Amino acid sequence: MTPAAQAEAQRFARTHGGAVLAADVGGTYARVGVVRYGAGVPAVSGYRKYRCADYPTLTAIFEDFLGGQDRTEVTRGAIACAGYVLDDGVINANLPWPVSLKQIRADLGLADLRVVNDFTAIAFATAHVTERDVTPVAVAAEPIAGPVLVVGPGTGLGAAVRIPGTRSSVILSTEAGQAALTASTALEIDVLSLLLAERAHVPTEQILSGPGLANLYAGLGRLRGIRTAERSPPEIADAALAGADSLARETLQTFCGWLGSVVGNLVMLYGAQGGVYLAGGILPQIREFLLRSDFVARFRDKGAMRPMLERVPVNLIEHGQLGVLGAAGWFLENQAPPG
């Protein structure tokens, strides 16, 4: 946390009891906790993980969570939410219900409730990540100081960039998952051609996401002349890891290589020489496979720019409470001055 945020946390603790209702809401799961700042140091309490589809609204999730909390001390909140933040709500086709800050604020009786892109919150929190929190994917002997990219294939493909500053960081939100998918191998071109026959624009997350893994499995099946049953992303991953399905294994290998190539492109696009964090989604489930895959080779295979990519470390980070902490930290850094 920056000095400015620490000072704000201390003021917040004195004024509001130091409690922030913080949530990290994705297309599949919502993670909720109360973050307290007794002395400017964040601590999460009451942390719970909800399956979004099991609840009719986001308000219903908050109501269930707050049922076990002292509601008199929770008057402020922040939501880190997948999608594009626009005015009072969030644009996201993957959420099971609309998100309206005005409605949630009124339903819960909160004095202040704000929303931030989920990967913006995660990028904010990565400033506090230690070596104990990560699994190295690509090791760089001489990393360069600079912007840090956070990217993760979950229900969609999220990405944000943290640009370190003297007093605070600037977080650049992106819609990298909605950018057009690029292909670099003959097989990827064949898969992309199948998708382009069905739609004019193929977003990157059509392949590089949890649901995208299922799309890739079906596409490779069509190319190989194999009739495939509908399978969930975790089922495809489990079959590949168990060696029980050669198509599933090819799917996962193609997925990891393609992801490495696209992440390398994002590093060059945003000048993210400070490193990459792969966050959340299906990656923790396939961690060992990812480490043995073509991810690093494809990440660095950028022609004349290879020496630059070789100096960019890539780490896998468990999602956990990171989004919740990031949402609360972002909230404090963006507090209006006391009136």
- The CATH architecture of the domain made up of 140-312 is 3-Layer(aba) Sandwich (3.40)
Distance CA 116, CA 97 (A): 17
With vertex at residue 85, the alpha carbon angle to CA 40 and CA 22, rounded to the nearest 5 degrees, is 30
- What CATH number does the domain located at 3-124+321-333 have? 3.30.420.40
For the chain, where do the domains classified as CATH 3.40.367.20 start and end? 140-312
CA 198 to chain centroid, in Å, comes to 28
Could you read off the pLDDT of 22-58 as tens digits, one per residue? 999 988 889 999 988 765 567 888 899 999 999 999 9
Could you read off the pLDDT of 275-328 as tens digits, one per residue? 999 987 789 889 999 999 999 999 999 999 999 999 999 999 876 688 898 898
- Answer for the pair 198, 245: CB distance below 8 angstroms, yes or no: no
User: Which uninterrupted H or E stretch holds 8?
Assistant: helix 3-16
**Ranges of residues in the chain whose predicted pLDDT is under 70:** 1-18, 38-41, 319-320, 335-339
**Which class for 319: exposed (0-12), middle (13-18), buried (19 or more C-beta within 10 A)?**
buried
Distance CA 277, CA 287 (A): 13
For the chain, where do the domains classified as CATH 3.30.420.40 start and end? 3-124+321-333
- Answer for the pair 266, 148: CB distance below 8 angstroms, yes or no: no
